[in-house]
Each structure stands twice: as structure tokens, then as C-alpha cells.
Amino acid sequence: MITTETRRRGGRSGSEARRAARSRGQGASVPYVTRKVPFYEVLNEEGLSIIEHNADTILEEIGIDFRDDPEALQIWRDAGADVQGERVRMPRGMCRKLIQENAPREFTQIARNPERSVRIGGANTVFVPAYGCPFIHNLDDGRRYGTIEDFRNFVKLAYLSPSLHHSGGTICEPVDLPVNKRHFDMVYSHMKYSDKCFMGSVTHPDRAKDTVEMAKILFGDQWIDPETGRPRTAVINLINANSPMTFDDTMLGAAKVYARNNQACVVTPFILAGAMSPVTVAGTAAQTLAEAMAGMAFVQLVNPGAPVVFGSFASSMSMQSGAPTFGTPEPALVLYVMANLARRLGVPFRSGGSLTASKVPDAQAASESANTLLPTALAGVNFALHTAGWLEGGLAMGYEKFIMDADQAGMMQILMGGVDLSENGQAMDAIRDVGPGKHFLGCAHTQANFENAFYRSPIADNNSFEQWDAEGRLDMAQRANARWKRMLAEYEAPELDPAVDEALQAYMRRRKESFPDSNT
């Protein structure tokens, strides 16, 4: 029996211990999900063709602004686009042709542990933590600014989470470090505390260059592919459009650095429908397609064959307050449409995640996140950024929310695995053995499969009311709180070659000493 004194001392209950044991042994870790279920689609050929036609019309007649980057404008001019000031109008079909003739349909992002390299595109899905949050939230501290310690904690939690296949990028902003130097510590944390793939810095071209140089040190002889003579893709990077229909010099500068080094660019229009796009699904889809194609085509002009990912981030907004809303049906429809358009274009797709406007890990957070993550799985998203941790419309990274979302991602992984039709999956021997009127609990088939027969959540409580009451009446957020603390306490860093580690630190010291701290 678990007493109050046992709980006060922090001892684990029997159910906590069982959940921990199941978590340690649950399922084989896979580097990414390969779906075995069909894609869910909401438009037919006619509907998709209308949106593609409208996107080409936007590119041809309205155009896209490429701001404060004369080189980008000259690249478009040399390619045959109509450049007037900073407005670029592309002949109908030009962007699609550049993408389809050059961009890979799938590509591999290498990890320093080769067993954790990910294949992006096709039938594959990679679950990635949330990105860009200035605040963190947990049950102990509430809401506060993020620090580099928080950043490292989330890298460690992602490393320890089998259903997260990637270390992510700016998981939270470490505001205790200077703005112009914090990218060193963030990129290094991904390299040091995880051996999964990671994302690079995009907030300044020089920071993108630093990311590339550090990746060269980390991967050493593996940086260049001897078969192609080109760099392997070791870093994937978020290049956001300034919707509506604008790319700025910061994003363009980072995109050029990564493209020229054959590193992947996730070109994503970031849209709050009603403010940055029309209020309709079809209008938002056409604008998203136009913006994304312009960005991906630009990358191909910079370096033909450089990997790109078609990104879509579209949320609805409250027409009463102007606040962004998440988990609503309209963005799910946009997601389904854009996934289908990406497949027709022939490039990998990024969207979805576990999005919510809730400030805390409550029922609103759970329902809105589920209403985003399920379409992510069904639509066929290849790179699912914001899978774990997102709170408050992306302003806060939640410790408990991270654990809860990773649990949901594990369920989606099973769902996308489809139905097992092997001899074991058909279970005809078990049906014959048991026969009518008996039960399957003791049969050989059940005994052989019970440990992995069903997904078992490490944080859900399925016990009786009496047992739940005796063990402290903990809700899911409280159980998640205990879990992330336990994970961090038990964390062991993956081995990193000491010479490589020293070279990385030496590079950071040299670069940090070469310019003064700044918070701009």
C-alpha cells in the first residue's frame, strides 16, 4: 500500500514503477515512421487543378516581393522573371518546372549516429519538437523566459523520446545568452546532448554559416558524399515567408547559405488566415502554394538539386479578437489540401504538429493538439515540426506538454503502421485454440504478444478510482511532471569523440571572441 509518507518522500507507486518499466521496454525505436496506410485527401482532380491554376496566376500577375536582397533579384532576372523594383513576377509554370526538374522527391538527413539518420519525403514521417518559443512553462515555475539550461533539457528529452525522431531547432529561446551569439550554444547543444538530426540557425546569414562550419567539424570525413562530390545533407533549416507574398533579406540570406552547401531548406509560408491570407480554405491554399513554390524555385536557382521541403503553416484566427486559434477544422482542411499538392509537385511536405492556444497543459491543449496531430498523420506530412511541447500559440514550450505530446506521437506512429496481416497478425491459431465461449487471456498467442499487443501510454492512468485515489489523485499533467524530471535525472549523453568536441568548442570560442555581444 502506498502511504502519504511514501508520496511525500517521492517514492514510486506500484503503477508508476510499472509504467516506467513499460516505457523503457516499449517497442523498438525507429529513426522515422514509414506509413502503411493510405493518404486522406479532401479534393479531387478538379479542385486541386483550380488551386494550382490560381497559384500560378498569383505568381504571374501579382508577384512575390524579394526585399532588401539585390542578389536575389538578379538571380530571378537572370532566370527570365519580370523584376520590377523588389516585385518578382514569374512566367506561368516557371516555378513548378524549376522544382520538378531539380529538387529531390526524397532525401536523407544524416545524423552523427547513422542509425538515427532520417529519410524525408515519400511515405515517411519525422516527428520534430516545437520551435521558436521565447517562454517555457512547467507546473513548478509557471511561465517564465527560457534559458540555455531549458534548451539543453528539451534536447535531452527529445533524445530520450522514441516517438520523436529529430532533435529539432530553436526548441526555446535561451534569453540568458546574447542574441547574436546564442546560436552557437543552441547548435552545439544539439550536437553534444543528442545524436539525432537537428536544425540550423536562420536568424542571420552569418549564423547560418556558423551552423555549416560546425556541422563540417561534427561530421568530418562524412561531410562530402564521394559519389556526388557534394556535401551530404546534415542540417535542415526553416525558411519562413513573410506572408502575404514576401520574402525578407534575413530568410533569403540564410536560404542562400544553406542551398549553396546542399543543406535542406523548409520553405514555409507562415499564415494566420484572415490577416495574412484570405479567410477561405481555397484562397489560403492558393496563396500558400504560390509563396512556397517561389521560395523553393529560388533555392533551385541558387543550387540546382539542393533539397527543399514544401512547408505550410496556416492557422485560423478569431474574427472577434484577432487572436490565433488552433485545432479548428479549417486549418485541417488546408493541411490536407497542401499535402496533396506537395505530392503532385513532387517534394517532401512539412506541416502540422500539436498546436494549441491554451496557456497550460489542460483539456483545451489536449483537444486542440489532437485535432492538429491526427490530420498531420492522416494527410501524410513528412516533416512534422511542432510535434511536442507547443503551448500558448507557440509562445511557450511546455515541459509537461512535451511529455503528453510525445505520448500522442507514439500513438500516431502505431496508427500509421497500419494493420498487421502476417500469420501472427491474423491470429487464426489463437482463434482455433480458444474456440467458442472461452477467453484468450491464457492462450499461447496472447502470451507471446501481450507485451507489445497494444500501445501502452507511459503517463495515462487506467486503474480503478480507488487505486488512483490511493496513489495521490494525480492528473495527467502531474504524472507528466514526474516523468520529465525522472527522464532528465536518468539521462546519459551519447558518446561524442573528445577531439570533435574540443574542435567545436574551439571554433565557438574563436568566433565569440571576434565580435562584441549584442541583443539585436
Mean pLDDT over residues 277-291, rounded?
98
Q: What's residue 384's pLDDT?
A: 98
Helix, coil or strand: residue 313: strand
**And the C-alpha cell for 160?**
530520450
Reply yes or no on whether the pLDDT at 33 is more than 70.
yes
Least confident of 6-15, 270-279, 333-342: 6-15
User: Which amino acid is located at 67 in the chain?
Assistant: R
Helices 281-302 and 329-345 pack at an angle, to 10 degrees, of 40
Helix (H) or strand (E) holding 396: strand 396-398
Q: What percentage of residues in the chain have a pLDDT greater than 70?
A: 95
**Per-residue pLDDT reduced to its tens digit, 54-79:** 999 999 999 999 999 999 999 999 99
C-alpha 65/C-alpha 79 separation (Å) is 16
**Per-residue pLDDT reduced to its tens digit, 220-270:** 999 999 999 999 999 999 999 999 999 999 999 999 999 999 999 999 999
Mean pLDDT over residues 33-46, rounded?
98
Mean pLDDT over residues 2-17, rounded?
41
**Per-residue pLDDT reduced to its tens digit, 449-474:** 999 999 999 999 999 999 999 999 99
C-alpha 194/C-alpha 111 separation (Å) is 10
Residue indicated by cell numbers 507514439? 410
User: Which amino acid is located at 203 in the chain?
Assistant: T
Q: What's residue 2's pLDDT?
A: 34
Q: Please give the C-alpha separations between residue 409 and each of 143, 165, 303, 475, 502, in angstroms, as whole numbers.
A: 24, 10, 35, 20, 35
Helix (H) or strand (E) holding 485: helix 476-490
User: Which amino acid is located at 80 in the chain?
Assistant: G
DSSP H helical segments within 177-263, as ranges? 182-193, 205-219, 249-260
Partners of residue 129 on adjacent β-strands: 388
**Contact present, 39 and 340 (Cβ < 8 Å):** yes
User: pLDDT-based confidence at 114, cuts 50/70/90?
Assistant: very high
**And the C-alpha cell for 453?**
499487443
β-strands 64-66, 324-325 pairing: unpaired
User: pLDDT-based confidence at 12, cuts 50/70/90?
Assistant: very low
Q: What's residue 319's pLDDT?
A: 86
Mean pLDDT over residues 159-177, rounded?
98
Residues contacting 481, CB < 8 A, separation 6+: 138, 139, 140, 399, 400
Q: What's residue 28's pLDDT?
A: 59
C-alpha 201/C-alpha 489 separation (Å) is 29
Reply yes or no on whether the pLDDT at 495 is more than 50.
yes
**And the C-alpha cell for 83?**
523584376
Q: What's residue 24's pLDDT?
A: 42
**Per-residue pLDDT reduced to its tens digit, 178-229:** 999 999 999 999 999 999 999 999 999 999 999 999 999 999 999 999 999 9
**CA nearest to 350, candidates 182, 520, 124, 178:** 124
Q: What's residue 104's pLDDT?
A: 98
C-alpha 238/C-alpha 253 separation (Å) is 12
Chain-wide mean pLDDT for the chain?
94
Helix, coil or strand: residue 225: coil
User: pLDDT-based confidence at 16, cuts 50/70/90?
Assistant: low
**And the C-alpha cell for 348?**
517532401
Q: What's residue 320's pLDDT?
A: 85
Residue indicated by cell numbers 519525422? 126
Mean pLDDT over residues 497-518, rounded?
98
Q: What's residue 391's pLDDT?
A: 98
Residues contacting 354, CB < 8 A, separation 6+: 130, 369, 370, 372, 373, 386, 387, 388, 389, 390, 401, 405, 408, 409
User: pLDDT-based confidence at 15, cuts 50/70/90?
Assistant: low
Reply yes or no on whether the pLDDT at 446 is more than 80.
yes
**Per-residue pLDDT reduced to its tens digit, 397-442:** 999 999 999 999 999 999 999 999 999 999 999 999 999 999 999 9
Residues contacting 74, CB < 8 A, separation 6+: none
Q: Please give the C-alpha separations between residue 510 and each of 148, 180, 489, 514, in angstroms, as whole numbers.
A: 20, 14, 33, 6
Reply yes or no on whether the pLDDT at 27 is more than 80.
no
Reply yes or no on whether the pLDDT at 4 is more than 50.
no
